[in-house]
Copies of this chain bind each other. A is one copy, B any other.
């Protein structure tokens, strides 16, 4: 039986462009995993890893025009956005090269023997070693930064783990091009090409997560697909860590003061954020709580103007367009839901942006009639929920699932902590808005004060601080007076959050993303001559360490 062909298609026309590969059979998946597994010894060298990451960045930059052209032809994301995304991707590869060289990620801990303790303490030296082959499931909406040469690949290679990437079906040609460059970079720095494998096909993805030599997985995509793979990873005879980023609503709370001070700026900013990349960002603000009253009305009007002026856009794939049209149709049919700008079909292959309004009280309704509005809808649409008082904000927040981000739009006095107690709703926000943490989202009962969430003894006591504490349990990143789209690649970044935002407590962006692919090992009373150099007393590699429980100075 011939292997199924993999086609590259043009979302602007819905037409196939060319066959770029075939779907991987079980044997082909096995071969890719074994090649990756065989590449582990070579990748154990940190210097080689840093060189690989830098060389890959150089080759990707060098082929920039070709990559952007290929990606645009398959995704319709546009050369501007894709050029920026490529820059972000190569910046990320180089940032991980720096992380590898600094070595703090090895988390070296040394405890000297202490015979005076009862029982006597042996000499213990701990650091982190690579887990093994990592399966990477590429996303469709970032054909570079969350795909073949993206954050999962970069952080896994940095950790010393070879990868086998399951290509996203939306951009197979771009995937092949980038994988070829990664493999060329490997060969150029003296590493085997097997450090970065690539497979196509749905069945291949399932084979991959079940393969006994795959030691961990990274995923960016839908709740449905991610959960199925998570379940497969957990059901293995030997379960493996599955770091999946599945879905996020990214709530925004606009206070009365913020709306009064800058309704138009908020409306325009929101329109820009929710339509960016035709609304196909995982951090798109999908639910916005804004006050009733004149300030909120101004916000709604400026949002309507800006969204209405946004041109039609092309979604990544026809099936996403179908899902978007179904999603907005279902939402529009709910009682008390209005569409000041109706989202829907543009041309034959495009969609037009829009937004819905709904009384916030309907979202807090325990009947669950409007729960669909609390689910992510991929594409250029958001929901503006109008609230009466702080208690309503709290009641809605208490019903939200986990998120990658949560955003506050505050007034000047609220930012300074100089606002008095809330005018309406009394202590409502603090009471109702603070939720549980990971895994406690579905059941809203029994929730208590916000200080539990942010760990925040010593925070301010104004409304700004209270709302910040109330949003903290909901998300992995909390923003004030900004917009969640745009995820900076930075050491302190956290791109993750309570389920279903992510399936683990880890991040997929930023320096600490490397932690996902490592495990600690401790050596006890091991003769100096046998220790790896990372753990030698004289610290030949000049690594940051903690000695006997304290940072070494």
Contacts and interface: CB of A to CB of B under 8 A. Distances in A.
A268 interface: no
Nearest to A491: B549
A459 B481 CA distance: 52
Interface string A425-440: 0000000000011111
Interface in A411-461: 415-418, 436-443, 445-449, 451-460
A119 interface: yes
A260 B464 CA distance: 72
Contacts of A526: 468, 478-480
Contact of A124 (B41, B130, B488): B488
A475 B525 CA distance: 15
A44 interface: yes
A131 B41 CA distance: 37
Contacts of A531: 459
A237 interface: yes
A308 interface: no
A102 B216 CA distance: 32
A499 interface: yes
A505 to B, nearest CB: 4
A522 B493 contact: yes
A544 interface: yes
A84 interface: yes
Contact of A524 (B44, B456, B479): B479
B481 A525 contact: yes
B533 A453 contact: no
A132 B439 contact: yes
A464 B131 CA distance: 23
A160 interface: yes
A334 to B, nearest CB: 23
A494 interface: yes
A416 B452 CA distance: 53
Contacts of A129: 437, 453-455, 472
Given A130-B437, A212-B440, A520-B476, A452 B41 contact: yes
A407 to B, nearest CB: 9
Contacts of A14: none
Contacts of A160: 455
Name which of A453, A465, A518, A521 has the most chain B CB atoms within 10 A of its CB. A521
A109 B490 CA distance: 10
Given A505-B131, A530-B459, A494 B477 contact: no
Given A416-B527, A505-B519, A525-B479, A87 B118 contact: yes
A494 B131 contact: no
Contacts of A43: 452
A524 B480 contact: yes
B530 A415 contact: yes
A110 B212 contact: no
A109 B525 contact: no
Interface stretch (A32-40, A64-72, A309-317, A319-327): A32-40
A213 B480 CA distance: 28
Contacts of A102: 549-550
Nearest to A110: B492
Contacts of A440: 37, 132-133, 212-215, 238
A437 B45 contact: no
A415 B527 contact: yes
Contact of A493 (B124, B230, B236, B458): B124
Nearest to A523: B478
Contacts of A216: 438-439
Contact of A507 (B456, B459, B520): B520
A22 interface: no
Nearest to A45: B457
A458 to B, nearest CB: 4
Interface string A522-553: 11111101111110000010001010111100
Contacts of A231: 234-235
A215 B443 CA distance: 12
Contacts of A504: 241
A551 B492 contact: no
A296 B433 CA distance: 68
A192 B135 CA distance: 45
Nearest to A436: B132
A160 B104 CA distance: 26
A3 B328 CA distance: 51
Interface string A481-504: 110001010111110101110011
Q: Which 3 A-B pairs have the closest CB atoms?
A: A40-B452, A212-B443, A417-B529
Given A478-B523, A496-B519, 16 more contacts: A41-B449, A129-B453, A132-B438, A212-B440, A231-B234, A234-B235, A238-B402, A238-B438, A238-B442, A238-B499, A240-B438, A416-B529, A454-B532, A476-B521, A479-B526, A491-B548
13 contacts: A37-B446, A46-B455, A104-B546, A119-B486, A124-B488, A126-B492, A126-B494, A131-B437, A212-B442, A213-B439, A238-B498, A238-B500, A494-B521
